[in-house]
Structure 1
Amino acid sequence: MRISSNAAATAGAVVLALTATVGPAAAAEVHGLPGSTMSLLWALPFAGLLLSIATGPLLYPHFWEHHYGKITAVWSALAVVPMALSFGTETTMGAVLHTVLLEYMSFIILLFALFTISGGILVAGNIHGTPAMNAMLLVIGACLASIVGTTGASMIMIRPMIRANDNRPFNAHVIVFFIFLVSNIGGALTPLGDPPLFVGFLRGVDFFWTTTNLWAETLIVGGIVLVAFVVIDIVLHIREEGMPKIKDPTPDKKVRIRGLANIPLLAGVIAAILMSAVWKPGTAFTIEGVEVQLQNLVRDGVIVALALISLYITKKEYRRANGFNWGPILEVAKLFAGIFICIIPVIAILRAGLHGAFAPLVGLVTGPGGGPNDFAYFWMTGILSSFLDNAPTYLVFFEIAGGDPEVLMTTLGTTLAAISAGAVFMGANTYIGNAPNFMVYAIARQQGVRMPSFFGYMLWSGAVLFPVFIIVSMIAFSSAG
């Protein structure tokens, strides 16, 4: 990879600045990074990468499309090289391997499998997009989101939704609410639903914890948003009655689901994850000092095998009809590799709590009595998830809350619920809050839907979602420790 002289000079300056923030004593640490002695400069690669992800597709899309991998690699190097110089190669490589082997690999394997298997399920045919039919499709998509993930559900349902409404003068609002409900809110009930929840699962949160602890909040938010959609769709449908008719480019045709063999494969993915949560043989393999548990290796191996079976048995025309290609998952794999690496020093600082450089941030989510402020956790996680990727945002606040899954699932259960709900629900606030949002936006525009601009979409989310979030936060997360 070639890097320009300006980029090299910038990298060198950051390396020197970061190296200068620690002394020889810190460099002698071998069992972990000394978060209490690390300055905020260590967060620059993480912040820079997230800023690149947020602005690249919007401000310089052509350059981003061709060079996002190189950009990610540069930010990753700016995180790893200073750590190696400051704390030693052994400590740094141990931290990187721990993150890659125990978190990133399982994370990307699951996304790869859900993307591959759901891409083989084709909803063919067409139906008429009345308010009642649209509401039903949204409910189906939202329910699918917690089973096949928000990305999988979005890819399965977006084209049928567009075809159902392609003869209507007003149809952009249908896609906007699709992003709200299918690409975000519907994924709140299982680790399969949304990447931040799977990150929590990898950190030790029980598989069904979110199901049992977020179902009420999901019903409240999803129910109110669905009612708002029905009201708006009915009003616009009535207005359309007096307008010139548009010839339906995709006349109504019996709906058929193709690629049904992929459904048991999805069930197999769920079974593999549940198996790894229940089966604990106590056997581990050590790779360069990192212990990898047998049940996790078996889980990931089974999931990969199921994805390969899907590729083998699914007819190619089904994937072509779905517009399936490897571009989105390759982008996610590269970007999240950088995110998981760049966040390593950030997590080290967060683990220092009030003794670390992020003490002001910790103070913002801490109540007067010293306990967590669930209301602040919900809103801060959510607002940052609106503009940054919601998975790393979830991980940051998970660590601020202590990072102990047993405590967070019990004593601090409402805090973990606030973090989870904020990350999942408020990913819907912008096109860049959650990966499927921009994918749905791009597909809809390709199909001729006049989608709102970035800020136009935010007007929709501000008007519809923010009042709902205020209601749910007052009901469920108003406590302050």
Structure 2
Amino acid sequence: MNLIADAHTQLEATTLVSTAEVTHDEHHAHAEPPAFYSVIPFAALLLCIAFLPLIHKTEEWWEHNKNRLLVAVSLGLVTLLYYTFLYGHGVVDHGTHELSAPGFPAAIVVLKNALLVEYIPFIALLFSLYVISGGIAFNGNLVGRPILNTGIIAIGAAIASFIGTTGAAMLLIRPLLKANQKRDYVAHTVIFFIFVVCNTGGCLLPIGDPPLFLGFLRGVPFTWTLSLWPMWLAMNLSLLAVYFVFDTIRYRKEDKEKVEALPEVSEPFSLKGSINFLWLLLVIFCVAVLDPSKPVPGTDWHAPHFFREVCMFALAGISLLTTSKMIRKQNSFNYEAILEVAALFVGIFICMQAPVQILNVNGASLGIDSPWKFYWATGVLSSFLDNAPTYVVFFETAKAAGTNGTAVAGVNEVSLVAISLGAVFMGAMTYIGNGPNFMVKAIAEKNNIRMPSFFGFMAYSCAVLLPLSIVLTFVFLV
């Protein structure tokens, strides 16, 4: 659940740009990581997300967003209390790059970093894409056969690098769910959609996923990520092949008459709400161009802080005004899914500050000195922490190690390949590995699809993604 560069986060390019840009400076500002036990609130929040929906006495209680928010804020408060009374050092302000005083000022900076620098851009992106895509309706007698489902997911893989993983996910999840509304076995389709559209499809351009966008901001050429196409193709074709076989097996268990029954009145394929494609492209433009830390391309003008987010919220409002209410009604559009994400991620971003800071300080001492180690270290940590700052920590680690071959932005190219792939591909390992993962889960559940638990999803990802990652390691990184 961490969330274009997120275009993630990113987000699918907005989330944590400022965070990532100061991680290297933060390491030099103070070399005192938080205590190991400071990660307990973050771990506790993950456990709540994993287990509270499964416990009979808490299942119904957890379904209310106000209760999710209560848990998230309470654990976030524990993190802030740690920085106030126990940490004893200053914290770098990701906006000003200044080191705070210890105690209460440090906690205020942690809260500012979590909410102003990270959470608000994250929610602005997801909210705008959620609202705008909710105004696009695909009509027609679509039947969720394996070939159609595979085709929709493949389209998502093809466009994710160009409109961001979040944009692609929000655009395609509703037609996919509509095509499968008569099927009994749908959860696995949503899971593979998360694997491909929300993650592995987005590694060809910096706008595809937040970590790649941050690499671009740090000097990686915009088109360099196109060189990742062999790995992109291998991973996505493999996932699509596995999905097609799996879905074909599941389809044989369906009631064919029910699934394939057409309505009495045939409905030709059509698209409604196409004006929203313009608003979608403008959101992506905002993410890519209105970075307050960089001048707008071709000018010396820096966008004011939060101008980007205001523009994205405004585009969501314009979408609501320019789209027929009947289209949103047809999509069963409501705000429950985005409110669930907003409630949980406010706690995630606060609690995440401690483990990310530990990683910032200690990342260079982890003994990572080969491409396959960079891939797995970046990937494993990206599964549970936001992949944007994780990418930058290992980017700086590889840069500090020097170069002994072809270099890109001061980093050995093969190491940069490994870091990029690990951050993007392994964001699919958990619901919180990338922003759109949890959003798609929430949308599916609002459409009465019973999705697996946190660890249930990991069972799928470990069974499918880990073997493919091992093969990818031996073919491309060893």
- Same fold by TM-score, threshold 0.5 exceeded? yes
Q: Give the superposition deviation at 1:111.
A: 1.8
Quick check: 1:221 aligned with 2:235? yes
- 1:174 to 1:76, Cα distance in 2 relative to 1, 3 A: closer
The amino acid of 1:377's aligned partner reads F
Comparing both chains, which one has the higher relative contact order based on Cα–Cα distances under 8 Å and sequence gaps of 6 or more?
2
Q: Deviations over 1:156-195 (max 9, x none)?
A: 4334334434566766654443333223322334565456
Task: Give structure 2 stretches of 5+ with no counterpart.
Answer: 1-25, 89-101, 403-407
Task: Quote the residue 1:344 is aligned against.
Answer: 353
Q: What is residue 290 of structure 1 aligned with on the other side?
A: none
Distance change >3 Å, CA 326–CA 303, structure 1 → 2:
same
Distance in 1 between residues matched to 2:211 and 2:280, nearest whole Å: 20
Distance across 2 between alignment mates of 1:173 and 1:77? 36
Cα 1:80–1:221 shift into 2, 3 Å: same
The alpha carbon displacement at 1:221 in A equals 0.4
Does the aligned pair in 2 maintain the 1:113–1:307 contact within 8 Å? yes
Partner residue of 2:128?
A: 113
Q: CA RMSD in A?
A: 4.0
In 1: Cα distance, 2:304 partner to 2:227 partner: 26
Q: What residue number does 1:279 align with?
A: 296
Question: Match of 2:469?
Answer: 469
1:133-177 deviation per Cα after TM superposition (whole angstroms, max 9, x unaligned): 333222222234345544543444334334434566766654443
Is the 2:160–2:167 Cα contact (8 Å) retained in structure 1? yes
C-alpha contact 1:35 1:350 (8 A) present in aligned 2 = no
CA change 1:294–1:191 in 2 (3 A) is: same
Matching of residue 306 in structure 1 with residue 353 in structure 2: no
Distance 1:37 1:428 in 2: 28
Aligned pair in 2 of structure 1 residues 100, 35: CA closer, same or farther (>3 Å)?
Answer: farther
- Give the corresponding residue for 2:42: 46
* Deviation of 1:55 (Å): 3.4
TM-score (norm 2): 0.72
Aligned amino acid, residue 134 of structure 1: N
1:258: how far off? 1.1
Report how far residue 207 of structure 1 moved.
9.2
1:404-450 per-residue CA deviation (whole Å, 9 max, x = no partner) reads 99998541554454344334323434556555556555665776768
Kindly indicate whether the alpha-carbon contact (under 8 Å) linking 1:33 and 1:91 is maintained by their aligned counterparts in 2: no
Match of 1:123, SS state, is strand
Which residue of the partner structure matches residue 392 of structure 2? 398
Distance 1:52 1:374, change over 3 A: farther
Structure 1 pair 275–119 and aligned structure 2 pair: CA distance change class (3 A): same
Partner of 1:62 in structure 2? 60
Q: 1:334 aligns with which of 327, 343, 351?
A: 343
Give SS of 2:334's match.
coil
Q: Gaps (5+ residues) in structure 1?
A: 1-29, 284-292
Among all aligned residue pairs of Structure 1 and Structure 2, give the percentage whose two residues are the same amino acid.
37
User: Residue 322 and residue 193 in structure 1: after superposition, are their counterparts in 2 closer, same or farther (change >3 A)?
Assistant: farther
Partner of 2:421: 421
1:131: Cα distance to partner? 4.2
Give a deviation string over 1:95-117, Cα, whole Å, max 9, x none.
43345333332232222211221
Q: Higher Cα Rg: structure 1 or 2?
A: 1
Counterpart residue number, 1:79: 79
Question: Is this contact kept in 1: 2:138–2:175, CA < 8 A?
Answer: yes
Alignment-mate amino acid for residue 378 of structure 1: Y
- The aligned counterpart of 1:133 is 148
Whole-angstrom CA distance in 2 between matches of 1:451 and 1:91 = 39
**TM-score, normalising length from structure 1?**
0.72
Structure 1 residues 42 and 440, CA gap change in structure 2 (3 angstroms):
closer
> C-alpha separation between the residues in 1 aligned to 2:119 and 2:103?
23
Residues 391, 420 of structure 2: 8 Å contact kept: no
Residue matched to 1:93: 108
